Amino acid sequence: MINKVNIRINRSRVKYAITLAKSLSPKDTTTINKIWELCGFKSKEEFEESFKTIYGTTFKDYISKL
């Protein structure tokens, strides 16, 4: 049960990261590199793992395609 709740929370955080990334300038690399922290993840690795699980690609690849 707790695992399902964590998955939903991480999915919401990842969607928020995408929303933030779309609103930022691609030149604002400092913020984009710290977006995992802004979205409430404990580590960059946790963010990357969640992002790849949900979208099937890395955050960096996703951003480069925007």
Per-residue model confidence (pLDDT) at position 27: 80
Over the stretch 50-61, which tens digit does the pLDDT of each residue have?
999 999 999 999
Q: Give the torsion sign (CA, 54, 43, 6, 32).
A: negative
Name the domain count of the chain.
Answer: 1
Over the stretch 13-35, which tens digit does the pLDDT of each residue have?
999 999 999 998 878 889 889 99
Per-residue model confidence (pLDDT) at position 1: 83
**How many Cα atoms are found within 13 Å in the side-chain-facing hemisphere of 12?**
7
Per-residue model confidence (pLDDT) at position 46: 95
CATH code: domain of residue 14? 1.10.10
> Could you tell me the pTM of the whole model?
0.86
22-32 as b/e, with b when 16 or more CB fall inside 10 Å? eeeeeeeeeeb
Query: 12 is in which domain, residue-wise?
Result: 2-64
Tokens of 1: 């049960």
